[in-house]
Structure 1
Amino acid sequence: MTTNSKTDQNEETSSIQFHEMGLDDRILKAIAKLGWSEPSLIQEKSIPLFLDGKDVLIKARTGSGKTGAFGIPVVQKILSIKEISPEDQKIRALMLAPTKELCTQIFKTMLQLTTKCSRDVKIVDISAQVDISAQKPLLVDLPDVIVATPGRVVQHIKAGTLSLKNLKMLVIDEADLMFSCGYEVDVKEVIKHLPKIYQAALASATLSEDVISLKKLVLHNAVTLKLQESELAPLKQLTHYKYYTEPIDKPAVLYTLLKLGLIRGKSIIFVNSVDKCYRLKLFLEQFKISSCILNSELPAGSRCHAVAQFNQGTYDIIIASDESFLDDPSSDSKRNKDKEFGVSRGIDFQFVSNIINYDFPSSINSYIHRAGRTARGSNQGTVLSFVSVLEAPYMSGVDEYLKESLGSSDSIFKLYTFKMDEMEGFRYRAKDAWKACTKALIREIRLKEIKQEVLNSQKLKGYFEENPKDLKTLRHDRKVKIPKTGNHLANVPDYLVPTSLKSVSGLVKIKRPKRKFKAVNTTNQKYEAKRKNPLASMDLSEFDEVMTKRKRKT
């Protein structure tokens, strides 16, 4: 590695643009196509350092452009190598991330950065949990850049399908999650197979003890980029609200805010358990409020599909369970959770307007990572937290930390003014709907979901072809009794909406056209309709007699 004295880059210097960094024209065209008019602060500082061959530790908040900060120089250095020896095809860069979702995000960004030089720079993502032999063809041609989780890299190394002896660059994203996700052993194993000389970069939202430990393992005489910025967007861009409520009233408050349109735009609702994910979804469905679920127990394919649907606008609400094991890696869980998953980290949710903390997070880092899903780039965002008496100490800790971080003397949390006392009709509806979502129902829903995933599994397709009886057994599970919901729950009568909220609620009043009444002979109309109907079997002789008598009178 290039030797360089350890420094902290906190000084303000004159800003430079992408075209002033000595980047290849093909990269500049790709950047323009992405709509990046100018580099973010972290990109402006880190790209020149990485291009100079220095090891870099990047500490910047979520949404600050860290992927571009290391992706752009990696592509540039590979193109420079190809100009000298175009026929020498080798694996030049390895990008590690703790989650499959983040690997997918990095892979997509790298594809976008190489859209004008895709023939010269080949990139593959091997993070998917498929059979090793299925990914072997991807590695035979020695792609320039490999994106993967540490565990997946170790599997390929042991299988003999991957060699890192010619590696030039190593990038580790979300470095503060690597060890807490259980990758400490895997990372150390990967380092054993690296050449003696290589350039490395670590990117992280925080400088935790794990990051410092990883820095000692990977970096040598690194430049530490610790920018003078908060871990969250400034208060003028991201607004934090608090609403004090008891746990029993949280469903009613959420239903009221959503149904009256007081919360608008794409929203992520965070809860603290997987069961509550399903219960909240069933609860909202009774009021015809659509949402999708994201948690660690779903297969990777289902999770990626849910995120894609949310980003595409199929759903405006996603209910996500935060992972407590990220705060306490030593804690054991009875359920089989995917260690390569973290909802509040590593997933690129696009254009999120609101974060709703249905359950207030138990740690400062968790709050920061949740809130970091909104107000990304130059977009505005809000965070609304439901705070019970037991959760108030957690909020106070977050408030004190962020006041210092954001340089505010006042509390960062604004009180959300919403009088639940005026919503007794909504509370009454929500109480019955919440009770209908029982534990037994949730268990049946989750069991049905697991069975459906088994049926959709490509790995089990061959097994079911040989054992059709097992497939038949799976398909003959009993139906789940979803709580019956009438259309009346989806509609909000005008009398339920308080007068003070009628002007600001998002309810759309449907104007029905006025009926125009005409004086008609109902007897004639009735019989004439039946005469014209070819399927009518009624005897019309009585009608003919009546009409004959009328003609005689006239």
Structure 2
Amino acid sequence: MFNDGDLMINFVTSGPKKKNVEKKPTKKPNIEKQKPNKGGQFISSLFTKNPEIPKIEITKTTVEPEKVFAPNSFNSLKVHKFIIDYVQSKMGFTEMTKIQEVAIPKLLEGSDILVKSQTGSGKTLTYAIPILHKLQSITPEINRSNGVFAIIMLPTRELALQTFQTFQKLVQPFIRIVPGLIIGGEKRKTEKANIRKGVNILVTTPKRLIDHITSTKSLNLQNVQYFVIDEADRLLELGFEADIKTIIEALDKRSNPSLRQNILLSATLTNKVESMVSIALKKPLKIDAEESNMEKFSTPISLKNFCVIVPYKLRLVTLTAFLLDKCKISKKKNKAIVFSSTQDTVEFLYRLLEYTLNKNVEDVDKLQTECDLYKLYGNMEQKERSQVYEKFSKSTCGILLSTDVGSRGLNLQGVDWIIQYNPATSIEDYVHRVGRTARAGAKGNALIFLAPSEVGYLDMLKENDIGIESLEVNDILKCLLIYFANDISKKLKGEKAVEVAAIELQKVFETALEDEDLKEAAKKGFRSFLRAYAAYPGKLRKFFFIKNIHIGHVAKSFCLNEAPSDIKFDRQTAAKGSFNPMKVYGYKFGLKASIKKVNALDEFDSGLGKNMVSKTKPNANKKGKKLKRLRK
């Protein structure tokens, strides 16, 4: 998705300056002062001039869903009994997943292997168990002074941290075997010190590993016997192909490649993944839990997919109503992840919901008192991101607002709902997003927000055998009658009461924007949304066509009341499909934008300055990968 952290927008004023007009403070909304028309219906821009909502037919998947659990337990594996005991008694896993049952015995044989399986199917233990079994059996016994025996490479810091923590737990019966973590965002000097002490299992991200290979003399790679490329599809989407080649070349020079077992894991098999297989693996075995689905995108059998077709003006109140219902009103405590297209949208939603979600409620006895709220995106400090991951994982009821940095591989415990406030830009990303729930056989739900002009997106899901059911906007908004119980439900009934409740919530939001910082966050989120929308890939442009959305309605979804005429947006260029997000026009009040690149630390950087990172040859598809980086 588009990452505003990758660009610096320098705004300079153009044209005559307008006189500052002192605005009168906005009064707090009062339902009683709202006047009905002759028909007795309340008038609001939320429910007028909206596009017609098409009827959606329920579709069911036609392929056999991938089974998660296998009939055999871990006791059937020929691995050290201490590992099995620890996995079952301390980690709480009693049954193997299907992919573990199929892949672990093959990995123990030592062949190069390609593993394809859905997210949440236990891929980390699939390679961690055989690696640890082999390392503990080496004679004479290895210790940290022997250097690195296994390298585990992942695309993001959060995934690397999660995998490192898994190894930390798993090696408890063999304390002489030491795992280590090197990722961008951490202190390089500390990592060098840990490497000098000795590390046997190295969990890392590509750029950081390249840096230590080239600059850390104490990094001993001569004994490397395992090289694991986890989340391979994501690594390649992010443009790490050249870095992976560089790492493989370095390993071939500094260790014996004939003694090294290479393992590549991916939730999807794209052309790029197949190409990387030919480079990284030698005569590999291809393993999938369901061989018939080797070329298909699979989602868990316990996952239910839903969609809601909602006009842009109603998006924000509909999202908030849904979150209120699931995380505050429902007797069951739910955890939800909300995916948005840009970090500025995430930041706006976080500030707005933080300001309003646990406030403005008189009859709090009917609601849960608190609902923990978290945010996650690339340009946050690594320490803060790690804290968010830990806190949300441990919480029993909460909402995580995230960009796609939270969509890959993260095992966030107990997530009940995945909400795609902005749709994923590919079927691969859709599968990975919804894969944060319904993990390891647990039940889960996914909801995607679409505008009436975007319903063609459902055809893409149907083509990939993803069944989906439809929810009605009014059914979601009904929970607001509980939220505003004392004000509305005692005076109005039925659909009118629901509409008035939605109007009142929108007024609460717009009143909150009297805070200048929050209003500025809304403007930034609005601008970044338009840039991301214009940058949807070509094959999805017919569904997400900038000419088909009402800019003023989009502004309303950010609690902004500016008319479309206030936005300097070239619809003619956009309508031709040639709109370039790198050359966006200024959007606000006589401002024009000049754009320049800046060095921005995000989840995929090594954490070092530009001149400190080893150089690799530019990729042939540089332009395409540049756009993908921007989308994040």
Asked if TM exceeds 0.5, the reply is yes
Cα pair 1:164 1:193 within 8 Å, conserved: no
Give per-residue Cα distances to partners, 1:29-67, cap 9 Å, x unaligned.
211121111211111111111111111100000000000
Distance 1:446 1:250, change over 3 A: closer
Instruction: Give the structure, 1 or 2, with the largest relative contact order (CA under 8 Å, sep 6 or more).
Output: 2
1:288 maps onto 2:363 in alignment: no
C-alpha deviation, 1:361, in angstroms: 2.2
> d(CA) in 1 for partners of 2:396 and 2:439?
21
> d(CA) in 1 for partners of 2:146 and 2:237?
35
C-alpha deviation, 1:172, in angstroms: 0.8
Aligned twin of 1:277: 346
> d(CA) in 2 for partners of 1:370 and 1:13?
21
Give per-residue Cα distances to partners, 1:423-454, cap 9 Å, x unaligned.
1222212322443448963586699xxxxxxx
C-alpha deviation, 1:417, in angstroms: 7.0
2:186 alignment partner AA: V
> d(CA) in 2 for partners of 1:85 and 1:292?
42
Secondary structure of 2:129's counterpart equals helix
Taking the TM superposition and a 5 Å limit, the aligned residue runs for 1:164-183 are 164-183=221-240
Distance 1:268 1:73, change over 3 A: same
> d(CA) in 2 for partners of 1:89 and 1:350?
35
Cα pair 2:148 2:223 within 8 Å, conserved: yes
Taking the TM superposition and a 5 Å limit, the aligned residue runs for 1:392-403 are 392-403=455-466
1:356 maps onto 2:419 in alignment: yes
Aligned twin of 2:168: 111
> d(CA) in 2 for partners of 1:131 and 1:87?
21
Distance 1:220 1:431, change over 3 A: same
Query: Out of 257, 264, 282, which is 1:220 matched to?
Result: 282
1:90 maps onto 2:147 in alignment: yes
> d(CA) in 1 for partners of 2:451 and 2:153?
39
> d(CA) in 2 for partners of 1:432 and 1:11?
47
Secondary structure of 2:424's counterpart equals coil
C-alpha deviation, 1:219, in angstroms: 0.4
Taking the TM superposition and a 5 Å limit, the aligned residue runs for 1:4-23 are 16-23=72-79
Secondary structure of 2:461's counterpart equals helix
Query: Out of 5, 16, 26, which is 2:82 matched to?
Result: 26
Query: Out of 289, 300, 309, which is 2:391 matched to?
Result: 309
Distance 1:99 1:392, change over 3 A: same
Distance 1:213 1:139, change over 3 A: same
Aligned twin of 2:498: 423
1:300 maps onto 2:382 in alignment: yes
1:39 maps onto 2:96 in alignment: yes
Distance 1:23 1:109, change over 3 A: same
Cα pair 1:252 1:426 within 8 Å, conserved: no
Cα pair 1:282 1:437 within 8 Å, conserved: no
> d(CA) in 1 for partners of 2:262 and 2:284?
9
C-alpha deviation, 1:398, in angstroms: 1.4
Cα pair 1:291 1:315 within 8 Å, conserved: no
Aligned twin of 2:122: 65
> d(CA) in 1 for partners of 2:350 and 2:186?
30
> d(CA) in 2 for partners of 1:275 and 1:14?
43
Which blocks of at least 5 consecutive residues in structure 2 are unaligned? 1-65, 359-371, 478-494, 524-558, 560-632
Distance 1:135 1:258, change over 3 A: closer
> d(CA) in 2 for partners of 1:207 and 1:439?
47
Distance 1:446 1:155, change over 3 A: farther
1:21 alignment partner AA: L
Taking the TM superposition and a 5 Å limit, the aligned residue runs for 1:187-226 are 187-194=244-251, 195=255, 196-197=257-258, 198-226=260-288
C-alpha deviation, 1:344, in angstroms: 0.7
Cα pair 2:350 2:373 within 8 Å, conserved: yes
C-alpha deviation, 1:82, in angstroms: 4.0
Cα pair 1:202 1:215 within 8 Å, conserved: yes
Aligned twin of 1:126: 182
Distance 1:444 1:82, change over 3 A: farther
Distance 1:358 1:193, change over 3 A: same
Query: Out of 427, 433, 436, which is 1:373 matched to?
Result: 436
Distance 1:434 1:128, change over 3 A: same
> d(CA) in 2 for partners of 1:52 and 1:205?
23
> d(CA) in 2 for partners of 1:312 and 1:213?
39
C-alpha deviation, 1:376, in angstroms: 0.6
Query: Out of 127, 130, 137, which is 1:80 matched to?
Result: 137
Query: Out of 277, 294, 311, which is 1:246 matched to?
Result: 311
C-alpha deviation, 1:160, in angstroms: 2.9
> d(CA) in 2 for partners of 1:402 and 1:438?
46
2:517 alignment partner AA: L
Q: Which stretch has the larger CA shift, 52-61 or 438-447?
A: 438-447
> d(CA) in 1 for partners of 2:375 and 2:181?
25
> d(CA) in 1 for partners of 2:406 and 2:273?
20
Identity %: 27
TM-score by length of 1: 0.69
Give per-residue Cα distances to partners, 1:288-321, cap 9 Å, x unaligned.
3452211112122211111212112186011112
2:306 alignment partner AA: Y
Aligned twin of 1:151: 207
Q: Which stretch has the larger CA shift, 428-437 or 108-117?
A: 428-437
Aligned twin of 1:476: none
Cα pair 2:68 2:98 within 8 Å, conserved: no
Aligned twin of 2:550: none
> d(CA) in 2 for partners of 1:390 and 1:304?
38
Distance 1:185 1:432, change over 3 A: same
Give per-residue Cα distances to partners, 1:6-40, cap 9 Å, x unaligned.
xxxx9999954323322112211211121111211
Q: Please report the RMSD computed on the Cα atoms of aligned residues, expressed in angstroms.
A: 2.9
> d(CA) in 2 for partners of 1:14 and 1:360?
33
Distance 1:127 1:62, change over 3 A: same
Q: Which has the larger radius of gyration?
A: 1
C-alpha deviation, 1:256, in angstroms: 2.3
Distance 1:112 1:206, change over 3 A: same
Secondary structure of 1:382's counterpart equals strand
C-alpha deviation, 1:149, in angstroms: 0.7
Query: Segments of 4+ in structure 1 off by > 3 A?
Result: 10-17, 82-88, 229-235, 414-422, 433-440, 442-447
- How many residues were matched structurally? 411
Aligned twin of 2:531: none
2:224 alignment partner AA: L
Secondary structure of 1:377's counterpart equals helix
> d(CA) in 1 for partners of 2:154 and 2:67?
29
Cα pair 2:69 2:96 within 8 Å, conserved: no
Secondary structure of 1:39's counterpart equals strand
Distance 1:431 1:12, change over 3 A: closer
Secondary structure of 1:179's counterpart equals helix
Cα pair 2:103 2:287 within 8 Å, conserved: yes
1:320 maps onto 2:402 in alignment: yes
1:97 alignment partner AA: L
